Amino acid sequence: MHSSNLFVALAALAPAVLAQAVSPCQKVNEQQTAALKKLDPESVNPYNLQFLAFFDAETAYQCITSIPINNTEVAAMVEVDKKFLALYSTIPFLKNPPKSYQQPSIDVMGRLDEIAEKAKRGNYSNFNQFELDLVAINRGVYDTHFGIVNGPTGLISYSLPYGLVSASVDGKELPQVYAHSDIIDKVSNPSYIFEIEGENVFTYLQKYAATNSVTGMLDPHADWNQLMYSEATQFGSWGADNKNSMALGGIQTTSIYNGKSLKGKFSNGTQFEWKYVASSAALFISSNITSGEDLFTVFGLATKEQQEQEEALKKRALANQTTATPQYVPYSSYPKNPIVIQANFTRGGVVSGYLLSDNSTGVLSLPSFSSRDDYNEAPEEYSVAVTEFISQARKAGTKKIVIDLSGNGGGNVMLGYDVFRQFFPKKNPDALSRSRATPLFDILGRVVEKSGKLIDGTPETEFLLQLQSDFSNAGDLNPNNTLTSDGKHWGSWKDFAGPLKINGDNFTKPWKYDFSLPGNYAPFQTYNISGYGTNEATFDEAFSPDDIIILYDGYCGSTCSIFSNLMKNVGGVKSVAVGGIPQNGPMQGVAGTRGSQVRQHDSMAQYAELIRSGLLDSKNGSREALRSELGVSLSEIEDIPSTNQAPWKVSMALNVSTGNLDVPYQFVYEAANCRLFYTVDMIRDVTVLWEAAAKVAGGDTSACVTGSVDGPGSERNKPLVESPGFSYSDVWKNANSTRLLAVNNTSGGDDSDSSASRMTMTASVVVISLLTTWLL
Ligand SMILES: *[C@@H]1O[C@H](CO)[C@@H](O)[C@H](O)[C@H]1NC(C)=O
Ligand SMILES: *[C@@H]1O[C@H](CO)[C@@H](O)[C@H](O)[C@H]1NC(C)=O
Ligand SMILES: *[C@@H]1O[C@H](CO)[C@@H](O)[C@H](O)[C@H]1NC(C)=O
Ligand SMILES: *[C@@H]1O[C@H](CO)[C@@H](O)[C@H](O)[C@H]1NC(C)=O
Ligand SMILES: *[C@@H]1O[C@H](CO)[C@@H](O)[C@H](O)[C@H]1NC(C)=O
Ligand SMILES: *[C@@H]1O[C@H](CO)[C@@H](O)[C@H](O)[C@H]1NC(C)=O
Ligand SMILES: *[C@@H]1O[C@H](CO)[C@@H](O)[C@H](O)[C@H]1NC(C)=O
Ligand SMILES: *[C@@H]1O[C@H](CO)[C@@H](O)[C@H](O)[C@H]1NC(C)=O
Ligand SMILES: *[C@@H]1O[C@H](CO)[C@@H](O)[C@H](O)[C@H]1NC(C)=O
Ligand SMILES: *[C@@H]1O[C@H](CO)[C@@H](O)[C@H](O)[C@H]1NC(C)=O
Ligand SMILES: *[C@@H]1O[C@H](CO)[C@@H](O)[C@H](O)[C@H]1NC(C)=O
Ligand SMILES: *[C@@H]1O[C@H](CO)[C@@H](O)[C@H](O)[C@H]1NC(C)=O
Q: Is the CB of 73 under 6 A from ligand 1?
A: yes
Give the residue whose CA is nearest to atom 11 of ligand 3. Answer: 270
pLDDT above 70: residue 551: yes
Residue 624 · residue 277 · CB < 8 Å: no
Q: What is the pLDDT of residue 432?
A: 83
**CATH classification of 70-280+338-437+498-597+656-776, choosing from 3.30.420.40, 3.20.20.70, 3.60.15.10, 3.90.226.10?**
3.90.226.10
DSSP state of 21: T
Residue 363 · residue 404 · CB < 8 Å: yes
Q: What is the pLDDT of residue 16?
A: 44
What is the rounded average pLDDT of the residues 275-284?
A: 90
- Write the CB contacts of 235 (distance below 8 Å, at least 6 apart in sequence): 244, 329, 330, 331, 334, 350, 367, 407
The amino acid that residue 250 corresponds to is: G
Task: Kindly tell me the sign of the dihedral angle through the C-alpha atoms of 65, 67, 69, 74.
Answer: negative
Percent of the chain past pLDDT 70, that is, above it, reads 86
- Write the CB contacts of 612 (distance below 8 Å, at least 6 apart in sequence): 637, 638, 640, 642
Which is the closest atom of ligand 10 to the Cα of 506? 1
Residue 205 · residue 582 · CB < 8 Å: no
What is the rounded average pLDDT of the residues 512-525?
A: 81
Q: What is the pLDDT of residue 701?
A: 97
pLDDT in tens, 363-376: 999 999 998 877 88
Q: What is the pLDDT of residue 77?
A: 85
Residue 599 pLDDT class (50, 70, 90 cuts)? confident
Q: What is the pLDDT of residue 337?
A: 96
Residue 700 pLDDT class (50, 70, 90 cuts)? very high
Q: What is the pLDDT of residue 459?
A: 66
How far does residue 452's CA lie from ligand 9's centre (Å)?
6
Most confident of 403-407, 438-442, 611-615, 631-635: 403-407
Q: What is the spatial distance between Cα 84 and Cα 750, in angstroms, rounded to a whole number?
A: 34
Residue 499: asked if its preceding bond is cis (omega within 30°), the reply is yes
What is the rounded average pLDDT of the residues 135-154?
A: 87
pLDDT in tens, 157-184: 999 999 999 999 999 999 999 999 999 9
Q: What is the pLDDT of residue 460?
A: 78
- Write the CB contacts of 372 (distance below 8 Å, at least 6 apart in sequence): 240, 241, 344, 347, 348, 378
How far does residue 36's CA lie from ligand 6's centre (Å)?
15
Strand partners, 156: 280
Output b/e per residue, 569-599; b: 16+ Cβ within 10 A: bbbbbbbbbbbbbbbbbbbbbbbbbbbbbbb
Query: What is the maximum span of the chain, computed from C-alpha positions, in angstroms?
Result: 84
Which is the closest atom of ligand 8 to the Cα of 395? 5
Residue 247 pLDDT class (50, 70, 90 cuts)? low
What is the rounded average pLDDT of the residues 138-145?
A: 93
Ligand nearest to the CA of residue 319, numbered in listed order = 6
How far does residue 72's CA lie from ligand 2's centre (Å)?
16
Which is the closest atom of ligand 3 to the Cα of 189? 5
Percent of the chain past pLDDT 90, that is, above it, reads 56
Q: What is the spatial distance between Cα 178 and Cα 183, in angstroms, rounded to a whole number?
A: 7
Q: What is the pLDDT of residue 326?
A: 78
**Lowest mean pLDDT segment, chosen from 267-276, 321-330, 732-741:** 321-330
Which is the closest atom of ligand 6 to the Cα of 42? 4
Q: What is the spatial distance between Cα 664 and Cα 329, in angstroms, rounded to a whole number?
A: 36
Q: What is the spatial distance between Cα 544 and Cα 550, in angstroms, rounded to a whole number?
A: 13
List the one residue out of 551, 530, 543, 564 whose CA is nearest residue 391.
543
Q: Where are the domains of the chain?
A: 70-280+338-437+498-597+656-776, 439-497+598-655
Q: What is the spatial distance between Cα 647 and Cα 80, in angstroms, rounded to a whole number?
A: 10
pLDDT in tens, 218-229: 999 999 999 999
Which is the closest atom of ligand 2 to the Cα of 118? 14
Ligand nearest to the CA of residue 285, numbered in listed order = 5
Q: Is the CB of 123 under 6 A from ligand 2?
A: yes
Residue 622 pLDDT class (50, 70, 90 cuts)? confident
How far does residue 446's CA lie from ligand 9's centre (Å)?
12
**Lowest mean pLDDT segment, chosen from 407-411, 437-441, 475-479, 761-765:** 761-765
Q: What is the spatial distance between Cα 170 and Cα 167, in angstroms, rounded to a whole number?
A: 9
Residue 663 · residue 594 · CB < 8 Å: no
What is the rounded average pLDDT of the residues 110-115?
A: 98
**Which value, to the nearest 10 degrees, does the dihedral of the CA atoms of residues 139, 142, 147, 149 take?**
0
List the one residue out of 55, 11, 144 whose CA is nearest residue 594.
144
Average pLDDT of the chain is 85
pLDDT above 60: residue 14: no
Backbone torsions φ then ψ of 747, nearest 5 degrees: -75, 140
More confident residue, 408 or 532: 408
How far does residue 309's CA lie from ligand 2's centre (Å)?
40
How far does residue 122's CA lie from ligand 1's centre (Å)?
12
Q: What is the spatial distance between Cα 169 and Cα 425, in angstroms, rounded to a whole number?
A: 41
Residue 370 · residue 769 · CB < 8 Å: yes
Give the residue whose CA is nearest to atom 3 of ligand 8. Answer: 396
Ligand nearest to the CA of residue 342, numbered in listed order = 7
